[in-house]
Structure 1
Amino acid sequence: MTCDVCETISDIYSAGFEEWDEEILGEASTVLNSNCPHAESLCRAANFDRPITDFPNELLAIKKEGKQTGVRLGLAHLTPEDEIIFDNVSTTYMDLVSPKGSVDHPGQGILPDPKWIDLDIIRGWFSVCKNSHQSQCSEPPWLKGVEPADPEWFIDVVDECIVSPPGRGVDYVALSYTWGLGRNLKNTKATLSELKQPGALRVPKFANQLPETIRNTIDIVRLLGERYLWVDALCIIQDDPASLGRNLNQMQLIYANSTFCIMAATGCGAEFGLRGLKGLSPERDLEMRIYDLADGNRLIAKPLSQDPTAGTKYSYHQRGWTFQEWLFSRRRLVFNHGPLMWQCQCARWQETAKINPEADAQWSRMHRTKESALDPSPSIWNFMSMASTFNTKALTMQEDAPKAFAGIQAMLHRVHPGGLLYGLSEFFFDISLAWASLYSNIQRRRGSNAANALQDGLPSWSWLGWEGDVNFPKDAEFQVMQPWNYHEQKVGFREPVTEWFTMATPGSTSRRKVRSEWYKYKTSFTANTSTEIPHGWKRQDYNRQHHPHDFYPPGGEPKDIFSHELSPQHGFKYPLPVLNWADTPSLTDQTQYLWCETSRAHLVSSKTTILRVEDYERRVRFVEGNSTILSITMPDMASVEEMMDDKRPSTLELVAFARGWSTWLGYDVERAYNEGSTGKMRIPGMDPRDCYFVLWVERREGVSYRLASGEVLASWWEGNTDKQLAQVLLG
């Protein structure tokens, strides 16, 4: 049976990957009033805001966008020039199914067995990746030259026991999963010797404690022809602090060096298992939306992209521990609620679609988040989105936040001179302290043991001590502002006003100086144009016309602009050292207390008018006379409401950590929309005022705790600080 509508749909799939194509199928009522299978299929496939039957007189069209294999339905109209204009487009992308054994068919879709996974598909993916992608996946730029991981134990999937690595650099598979609340066999000092015996994992004593996800992973790794498997519960001695510490600090390398990583992203714990392995696990229930056409052709709905923010707080993509495991795995075999998926540095494949090199190249270009975050370049702010994403993930034990971030932090030591202290760059430490929660609510993390609050590893001065989405300041004294920064509020850090020391406990006599060096480089290259610049940097005269969206206070135009060979598209106002990525860094001791001597002031809130900041619901400003003397970002909306009513504190204790300027303290500028227009538009971020960057703190038993951060008008600060410097202990 032939059908013009079905033929038009099938023909559009002949367009090349880069090409756009659009075709009219006919008036909706006519297309759907047919005995052809397409009528029922298109009714189901058309996902508009209302049923397609509500649009009987509209033209039903189909479109293929450039750099896509799938097509979508749409409601459209024709212009007098016969141009197709889409008024509404369905959310469902559809691939044309390629019949088995067909060579020249334009379809890219595949119909897998809905119950059982074909292991040959996995073998094929792995083979293509190894042979075609080669070093791009075996040694991507962010891993090039980095020393291999040194795991202490593996699971031998053939002998079913725990073994020492047979040598450095041996191939192994890793498992990323959520523990959940069910049974979970753990390797301890007491069980290690027994678990080393061949067949130990089949002995009832241990087999009965082994959750299904680990059991299934052992079996599938063996069937895929691999010998060794790394699983945290069994390959780390769970009651040995030294073993835990060593492995947490190399967790990123353990996952990065695995041949591939199995991501158990279904269920809410290790009991769920890897469904769909015939003879090993229960069948899966793979839901596929299939649409029949004439002549036996079929369409299949493309699975929705895996949304890392979907699901409950117990699901795989919501967990803090699995975040870094996903991030650092070079190759991922993903068991999720949809089709089986393979992700590597070069491609993303699903069992419902053929391998398409053009689509692979497009996907690879669009998914370079890890490379940008870990790029050994001077743009150290690149890791901010990674930190913020991690901080929205769920942890069963809140005090685990620094541990779950340890692997990421260890890798970031390769980017940040001096390393990181609880997630803050030591090189830019004074600037890093100005992190805030401008766009969402955050709340303080609380350790599970209240009696150990002084040693819970959750300092208030670090974003790791809080839960939620955070942001870091873009320093206009360091980076050239981009067009998207033009209408934002802006800050510039000119100099630190204190030196910071870190220590393990409030009473420690041993203190280590925090290695904040940005100011040394800033003054060296802005005050002396003859200073030799570090390797890889290029200096040129600053030309305002080349940077029309940059910002600086009146009289603050820089003389020079610097760029680095690793990111020549970015401009900087002073250079800084760029580390050799392959060097093995010394990890910074993580001590949760800070100490300094600095200026302090107490602001009496009743003497000011407190106002909200337009467009920023968590920002409040304190006005005295005609001047904003303090602007701070509150942690959440509840604290904003308290500040605006009678519950606000009578006095705010403020301590300074840097000096500079901020447009948060200035006025928005009003300008005409265009020449001759009477309408005005408000432009924020154009009125900088000299300021001190401060923390609002509260003191309890001699320790100060951060409540918020912000800026104080310099003239007010200099007239209202305590006569003597305050010794501040931050916890």
Structure 2
Amino acid sequence: METDCDVCRAIWLALAGTEQKEEIDLGTFGDALSSSCPIHTSLIQHFKDEILDGGEDKYDVYNSARVSIQSLSEGMSAAVWVAGLGDFNVLLMNKPSVPNHPGKGRILDRDWMDIELIPLWKHICLETHSTICENPLKIWETRPAWLIDIQNWCIVSGLETTEAYVALSYRYGDHPSVTIDAGMWSDLQNPNALRTSPYLSPMVRDAIYLTSVLEERYLWADAFCIPHHDRGVATDQLLLMGAIYGNAIVTIIAADTDSKEGIPGIRGISNSRNLEQTLIPFGKEQIARRGSDSLPSYFSRGWTYQEREYSRRKLIFRDRELHWRCSCSAWHEAMTFVKFDDYGNHFMHTIQCGFPDMWCLSLVISLYNSSDFRYEEDAFPAISGLLSVASRSFTNGFLYGLPEMLFDCALAWRPNELIRPNPLRRRTPSQRPIDEQLHPSQLPSWSWVGWQGHIEIGRFESAQYNESIQETIPITKWYTADSPTSEERRLIESTWFTNRQSYKNPDTPLPPGWTRHELSEQDKERLVVHPDGCGEVIFKHEAWPEAEWLYPFPVSDISDSTPPVVLEQTAYLFCETQQACLRGCRTKGYKGYCVYVELRDDKNGIVGDLDYHNDEQLEGFPVIMGYSKWEDSEDSEWEDIEWEDDEEDGEHYGGVPLGKKIDLVAISQYKFYELDKLGEPGEPGAYPERAMQTSEHIAVLWVEWKDGVAYRLASGKVEKEAWYKLPRKDISLILG
């Protein structure tokens, strides 16, 4: 770019993605617009106008907001950051007439997509990505029971052909659903039956056409390929959903629209896409905005989660544009062909390497569990396919979403502490007739399946080195059954805890794939946190050589022929444990949010805390103290808050309200190891060396009772020493 302006040259380098990697700080909007250069000031003015378009109430804010520009993703695009107001991904448009022009953007047709890109992307992936994209999650070979034959326009048995198939993932929408009965199903197997079928939605019609563009003959779409009139077959197919999508050669993802709208922008097939591509002048160049500011509702739907996570290649229709994603690349209609590597699902990849990694599982489940459902009882069926694939690493399988090999730890799941406020809402079953529900579809209170929201499930329970490590110790045996009165109870085998000590034993031969590494003195200073029996050596595994492990353990050798572990799902838990009564008081934090509920004994001593699920649960808990601003703010300071006495439990001890009485039951014990947070070496008051601190706790559930069955309200912890000083009673616990 020819210019004498240093700012324009720096912006150009950021947009071109050639040399400029550091963030360009332009100061406030006022600073940036005071320049005499008309080129970059017009660019900044555009973003100012776009921000203020939302209302003049932002006018005072923008004067103090800092503006910066930085290149992203190896020159794929750049970002304009406006502190406190948002950010904008932008793309330099390519000039085909200029040799070696660095722009990656393309000007798109307003009405019609460039359909010719679809077979091009597919062939490049198949021919150049070797086996990387063929089966990245090592999913066992599965054939759907039924497929759509797009040549004969009918449904056919998926077991009678070995040819590849395309899968469709979409949002049904708020339309009355159509149930295809046995007679209709039989008719749809006749050639050309789908051409005139009143049940063929625009979405499936458009997907049939796109399947032909992908040069394939068969399409899997749930509306026609799951026989909902046959509950047995339908249930089996739903359990295989993860594998069905994982075996599809390509999955068509319609993120913008629902079943009645179809996929706009297919010339001669569907309506115009009405694309608005805003071009911003920058001297003789042009810049375009990339993407939208919000996610389509497709991404909030529960059923679509495992569909997109397990698809090996994805043809995505989003923001009225075409996109491609596979394990190796991401390509976009709005960009010239550029290769960007490594777009795989790292979390699931770790699990599919055979590691029962609770941190990765926690992330996967948390992302899923914020999803919405038309019928809330679908929460487990909609992820059962994904869990069946993960069960090959969590070798005892899953009981309503909790891995049985780590059950004692998993049962203490809680709201994700990194997202505040993060209310969890109790899911409630619909009034849909039982014979129309997918099974198993219960919503037990003790499982995260019964609650909607971001959760974390044992993310610190790991043999991998971390600065925070938890080791759960079982205190009871857990059994499960399908009713609270059943005498046929199955023992849940938490084998991880049973075998953990033998894993740590230095005399135990190393399991396959592991190597032992002596620690240098420097490594010992770095790897400070370690559980009992560890810390002298470190272990590595050939399947994940970058990770450092404190002790070895058997890692599942997973291939595409490894079958899943599928358990009977039973909704009641049983154990012998202890019950205690404590009192709860709440603390307030940032913007008045309650941080947690403190658990106090009858002398008002703090003995633990409770991870409450939502504000409704806080009713009756008195407020004790809090801080006025966010902890990280320089202006943060603790302040006393006036007591808000609980009307029901107004007892006091030393002038302080005792709090609301709550019933707690013990579910496990654990020891927590973490890096001491008192400060880094060299800071005033800090330890001169990195140090580890430990604590021991009893994991508890806050429960309410109905007809002798306990139902979970929240989880928490009590200091181990304090727990055993409390008045307690032995109980036979039934959790529903």
* From 605, 608, 613, the counterpart of 1:635: 613
User: What letter is aligned with 2:346?
Assistant: R
Q: Which amino acid aligns with 1:465?
A: G
Q: Deviations over 1:439-466 (max 9, x none)?
A: 3211211111499899951111111111
User: Distance in 2 between the 1:42 and 1:475 partners?
Assistant: 45
Is the Cα–Cα contact under 8 Å of residues 106 and 336 in structure 2 kept in the other structure?
yes
- CA gap of 1:253–1:27, structure 2 versus 1, over 3 A, is closer
Shift of 1:228: 0.8
Distance 1:94 1:336 in 2: 17
8 Å contact from structure 1 (residues 27, 59) kept in 2? no
Matches within 5 A, 1:474-623: 474-475=459-460, 478-482=463-467, 485=468, 491-493=470-472, 495-526=473-504, 528-539=505-516, 546=523, 548=526, 550-551=528-529, 561-582=538-559, 583-598=562-577, 600-605=578-583, 610=585, 612=587, 617-623=595-601
Tell me if 1:418 matches 2:396: yes
**Structure 1 residues 436, 29: closer, same or farther in 2, change over 3 A?**
closer
Structure 2 residue aligned with 1:464: 449
- Aligned to 2:142, the other structure's residue is in SS state coil
Matched position secondary structure for 2:343: helix
Residues 680 and 165 (structure 1 numbering): CA distance in 2 closer, same or farther, change over 3 Å?
Answer: closer
CA deviations on 1:177-201 (whole Å, 9 max, x unpaired) are 1111225555432311100011111
CA–CA distance in structure 2, aligned partners of residues 529 and 231 of structure 1: 53
**Matching residue of 2:706:** 700
Aligned amino acid, residue 353 of structure 1? M
Report the CA distance shift for 1:575/1:188 in structure 2 as closer, same or farther (over 3 A).
farther
Q: Tell me if 1:147 matches 2:140.
A: yes
List per-residue Cα deviations over 1:270-321 (Å, max 9, x = no partner). Answer: 1111001111111011111113466xx54232413786xx35xxx2011000
In the alignment, is residue 290 of structure 1 matched against residue 286 of structure 2? no
SS at match of 2:208: helix
- The equivalent residue for 1:332 is 314
Whether 1:217 and 2:207 are equivalent positions in the alignment is yes
Distance 1:596 1:543 in 2: 45
Shift in Å at residue 68 of structure 1?
2.0
The equivalent residue for 1:137 is 133
CA shift for structure 1 position 158 = 1.8
Query: Given residue 427 of structure 2, which amino acid in structure 1 is its aligned partner?
Result: R
Is 1:263 the counterpart of 2:264 in the alignment?
no
* Structure 2: segments with no counterpart, 5+ residues: 623-645, 650-658
> Amino acid of the residue matched to residue 20 of structure 1?
K
**185-194 vs 283-292, greater mean Cα deviation:** 185-194
Q: Output the CA distance in 2 between the equivalents of 1:426 and 1:74.
A: 45
The answer to whether the 8 Å contact 2:357/2:462 transfers is no
**Partners of 1:198 and 1:102 in 2: how far apart?**
53
CA contact (8 A) 2:380 2:441 kept: no
Would you say the 8 A contact 1:534–1:577 is kept in 2?
Answer: yes
Question: How big is the shift at 1:214?
Answer: 1.3
Q: CA deviation at 1:131?
A: 1.4
Where does the alignment leave 5 or more consecutive residues of structure 1 unmatched?
Answer: 76-86
C-alpha displacement at 1:614, in angstroms? 7.3
Name the CA shift for 1:291/1:714 in 2 (closer, same or farther; >3 Å): closer
Q: Who is 1:82 aligned against?
A: none
Are the aligned partners of 2:596 and 2:609 in contact in 1 as well (CA < 8 Å)?
A: no
Match of 1:81 in 2: none
Quote the offset at 1:149 in angstroms.
1.6
Shift of 1:250: 0.9
Q: Which residue identity is paired with 1:524? A: S
Q: Contact (CA 8 Å) 1:601, 1:717: kept in 2 or not?
A: no
Query: Residue 169 of structure 1: CA displacement?
Result: 3.7
Is 1:717 equivalent to 2:719 in the alignment?
A: no
Aligned mate of 2:223, from 230, 233, 243: 233
Cα shift readout 1:505-554 (whole Å, capped 9, x = no counterpart): 2222222111211222122244x43122322233456778525464468x
For structure 1, which segment, 157-166 or 88-97, has the greater mean C-alpha deviation from structure 2 after superposition?
A: 88-97
Contact 2:167 2:252 in 1 (8 A): yes
Q: Which residue of 2 aligns with 1:658?
A: 668
- Look up the match of 1:79: none
The aligned amino acid for 2:733 is V
Q: 2 CA distance for matches of 1:88 and 1:456?
A: 43
Cα gap change, 1:541/1:591 in structure 2, threshold over 3 Å: closer, same or farther?
A: farther
Q: Secondary structure at the match of 1:154?
A: strand
- Contact preservation (8 Å) 2:395, 2:565: no
In the alignment, what sits opposite 1:80? none
Match of 2:77 in 1: 70
Q: Is residue 135–residue 246 contact of structure 2 (8 Å, CA) maintained in 1?
A: no
Q: Deviations over 1:336-381 (max 9, x none)?
A: 2242111111111111111212xx12x538x634323544224343
The 1-side partners of 2:66 and 2:511 are apart by 63
- Provide the residue aligned with 1:281 in structure 2: 270
Check conservation: 2:445, 2:711, Cα contact below 8 A: yes
SS in 2 for 1:123: helix
Instruction: Tell me the CA shift for residue 477 of structure 1.
Output: 7.8
Match of 2:286 in 1: 299
Per-residue deviation, 1:718: 3.0
Amino acid at match of 2:132: Q
Equivalent AA in structure 1 for residue 76 of structure 2: T
Q: TM-score, normalised by structure 1?
A: 0.82
Alignment root-mean-square deviation, CA: 4.2
> 2: distance between equivalents of 1:693 and 1:112?
57
Task: Decide whether the 8 Å contact of 2:352 with 2:393 is kept in 1.
Answer: yes
Contact 2:572 2:735 in 1 (8 A): yes
Conserved in 2, the CA contact under 8 Å of 1:542 and 1:560? yes
Quote the offset at 1:564 in angstroms. Answer: 2.8
1:391 maps to which residue? 369
Aligned length: 679
Q: How far, CA to CA, are the matches of 1:624 and 1:551 in structure 2?
A: 35
Q: Deviations over 1:137-160 (max 9, x none)?
A: 1222x22xx321220111111211
Q: Look up the SS of the partner of 2:581 in the other structure.
A: strand
Question: For residue 732 of structure 2, what is the aligned residue in structure 1?
Answer: 727
TM superposition shift of 1:99: 3.7
What secondary structure does 2:315 align onto? strand
Residue 245 of structure 1: CA displacement?
1.4
Q: Structure 1 pair 184/32, CA: closer, same or farther in 2 (3 Å)?
A: farther
Deviations 1:622-656, CA, capped at 9 Å, x for gaps: 24548433422111233235333345796433322
Q: Are the aligned partners of 2:265 and 2:271 in contact in 1 as well (CA < 8 Å)?
A: yes
Q: CA deviation at 1:402?
A: 0.5
Question: Would you say the 8 A contact 1:395–1:401 is kept in 2?
Answer: yes
Q: Aligned letter for 2:158?
A: P
Task: Using the TM superposition, give the Cα deviation of residue 687 of structure 1 relative to its aligned residue in structure 2, in angstroms.
Answer: 6.0
CA drift of 1:680 comes to 8.8
Q: Using the TM superposition, give the Cα deviation of residue 66 of structure 1 relative to its aligned residue in structure 2, in angstroms.
A: 7.1
Distance 1:694 1:318, change over 3 A: same
Which residue matches 1:317?
299
Q: Secondary structure at the match of 1:499?
A: coil
TM-score between both structures, scaled by the size of structure 2 = 0.81
Aligned-pair identity (%):
29
Mapping 1:19-168, distance limit 5 Å: 20=21, 28=33, 33=38, 43-44=45-46, 64=71, 67-71=74-78, 91-100=87-96, 104-140=100-136, 142-143=137-138, 146-165=139-158, 167=160
Q: 1:13 to 1:673 in 2, by over 3 A?
A: closer
Are residues 1:272 and 2:273 paired? no
